[in-house]
Structure formats: structure tokens, C-alpha cells
Amino acid sequence: METLKFKNGDEMPAIGLGTWKSEKGKVEEAVKIALNNGYRHIDCAATYGNEAEIGNALSTVFSEGKVKREEVWITSKLWNDSHKEEHVIPALKQTLKDLQLEYLDLYLIHWPVAFKHGVSFPSKDEDYLSLEEVPIIETWNAMIEAKEQGLVKHIGVSNFSNKKLRDLMNESDEVPEMNQVELHPFLQQHELLEFCRENDIHCTAYSPLGSGDRSEQMKAKNEPSLLKEPAIMEIAKKHNASPAQVLIKWAVARGTAVIPKSTSKEHIISNLESEKLPLDEEDMKKIAGIDREFRYVNGEFFVTPGNPYDNIYDL
């Protein structure tokens, strides 16, 4: 299995199971299917509202003895309402309790945006906290403390632009080890990947299949479909594979981790098998040509005229 290597020698399997939108009644089974069929990386987040069900699956699989805790890479994320120093470790401890774990392999700041404590999603400008009220460095220092306490092995960020990474690195000697961002052939983000490579920051590609199960209100009118994109379908046909497998292998071939979400047994199994797909130079070149800077999960929903956030994707 391809892995991403960390400075201390730890290795994160390149393909993991995403769990956003995985319904409570289905996610437990999905995680069990994944672990029993070779996955060793699960991507979670407090805000997905399903960590307790994932915890049940982890506990069952580990107690069966076939898979050990230390063989699985488990990531979770700090939600935007817990950025203040005093809320970071309690939020992490709740995630650990829900997941029934002693430690996480990776903990990420989910977005560079802060809400008032207890606000799950803002409905008005007053629900936000400004970067003066809670600077990212305050949150980051609490993440470092969590690592020092042994609650997490690695710490990183998510949805950070080059500028936000640079700003953070100017204030701290502890460089984020991961930036989890939206990455797929319609949003290839060469500049961001290059910056991360130069600074030893790994990247994880989220929404690699186009996040088709998002709510309708999150979707743009006539948004393009990655799974039905002719170039992707042609390459899939050439290799006798599925379009999803092409998209997943493309992410691995670029040196990123990738976390396709599925609760379907067939998809879960075939998504991991994409690793075997022999994408060649011609395929990679063809995919390089379909970039169109299209975001399925556009963080601009955090930008309103009156709130403190005006630029999520500043370079």
C-alpha cells in the first residue's frame, strides 16, 4: 500500500475512507467493511456527527483481533466553534471518547474560520469570532499542547491557503504536517501543492469524486461531474477500470493522500483497488488538461458582507 511518510517515521496509508455525510445507520457498517477489506486509514471529524458510530465500528474490529489499533491511521478535525485555547483539548477529548480511542494519528484545524462556542453552523454575522478575538496561532498552540500530551501523534490544518500557511509558519516553529484540501482534476491546485512540497507539508485530497451526495443547496447550478467527465471515462475504459478508480489513482500518483467517501460495500472495496491502476504519462497529461478551478465545497459560504472573513482562498 502506498503511504505518506512523516519525519518521525510514521506512515499514513495514501487511500483512506471519508465519512462526511455517511449516515449514522450506515457508517458503522461502512467502517467495518473498510477495515476488513484492507483499509488502514479513516478520515473523521466532530462536525460530521457520526464519530460515536465510527467508534463502535473501531471498537468491534479491534476487539476481534484481526486489525490492531496501531495499524490504523485515524484522523479527526477540530470544529470551528472550538478554536479558543480553552476549547481545543476538551473538543479533542470528546472526539477521542466518541471514537473510543486513546490517541489520534492526526488532528486538523478544520477551517481557518472561528465561530462562537456552541455554534455548529453560523446563521448570522454575530455567530463568528474574528481573527483578533481568536488568532489561529492561539488554536495552533493548543494543538501543539495536545501533541505534547500524547493525545495526538501529528497535527495539521485543513482548507488553508498558501498565505494562511505562511502566516502560521511565521508565528510558529511547529510546521503543520498536513493540509487537507479539496483536490481533484477540476481543482488541481498546483501552486498550493508546490508550496506544501517545498515546506514538507503533506496534502490530503478531499471530495476526490466530486462529492455528489452533498445537499442540493451546496451545489452550483449545472456543476460539472468528475465521474462523467469524458477524459476520465476514456482513461477508465482504456484500463478496464471505473472513473472513480481513475480519480483516486490520479491523487495517489501526485503524492497526496485521498479519502473517497462511501457507504456502499462495492464502492468501498473497488475504491481501494484503484491503487493497482497503471496510470501512464499520457493519462496524467490528459487529466492535467481538464483543470478548471472548480470547487465543490466552496468555503466562500463563510464570507458575508458583515462578518470578519473576507478571503478564504488568498494566495
Ligand X SMILES: NC(=O)c1ccc[n+]([C@@H]2O[C@H](COP(=O)([O-])OP(=O)(O)OC[C@H]3O[C@@H](n4cnc5c(N)ncnc54)[C@H](OP(=O)(O)O)[C@@H]3O)[C@@H](O)[C@H]2O)c1
18 near ligand X, judged by CB under 6 A: yes
User: Judged by CB under 6 A, which of 13, 14, 19, 54 binds ligand X?
Assistant: 19
Q: Is 48 a catalytic residue?
A: yes
User: Which one of 32-40, 65-73, 209-217, 280-288 is the stretch in contact with ligand X (CB under 6 A)?
Assistant: 209-217
Total residues at interface with ligand X (CB under 6 A): 30
User: Judged by CB under 6 A, which of 12, 15, 20, 112 binds ligand X?
Assistant: 20
C-alpha cell at 5: 511518510
User: Which one of 6-14, 59-67, 195-203, 206-214 is the stretch in contact with ligand X (CB under 6 A)?
Assistant: 206-214
159 near ligand X, judged by CB under 6 A: yes
Q: Other CB atoms closer than 10 Å to residue 70's CB: what's the count?
A: 9
C-alpha cell at 147: 501533541
φ/ψ of residue 180, rounded to 5: -95, 120
How many Å apart are CA 309 and CA 115, to the nearest integer?
11
Q: What is the footprint of ligand X within residues 256-315 (CB under 6 A)? A: 259-264, 267, 270-271, 297
Q: What is the footprint of ligand X within residues 61-100 (CB under 6 A)? A: none
φ/ψ of residue 5, rounded to 5: -95, 135
DSSP single-letter state for residue 180: E
The span from the first CA to the last CA of the chain, in angstroms, equals 33
How many Å apart are CA 200 and CA 234, to the nearest integer?
34
∠ CA 236-186-163 to the nearest 5 degrees?
A: 140
- Cβ nearer to ligand X, comparing 50 with 305: 50
User: Which one of 90-98, 161-169, 201-209, 301-309 is the stretch in contact with ligand X (CB under 6 A)?
Assistant: 201-209
User: Which one of 14-22, 89-97, 139-147, 276-284 is the stretch in contact with ligand X (CB under 6 A)?
Assistant: 14-22
In order of 15, 56, 158, 298, 300, the CA distances from 313 in angstroms are 26, 36, 12, 10, 8
Q: Which of 48, 128, 206, 296 is catalytic?
A: 48
Q: What is the footprint of ligand X within residues 108-137 (CB under 6 A)? A: 110
Contact 41, 72 (CB under 8 A): yes
Instruction: By CB under 6 A, name the binding residues for ligand X.
Output: 18-21, 43, 110, 158-159, 180, 206-213, 227, 242, 244, 259-264, 267, 270-271, 297
Which residues form the catalytic set?
48
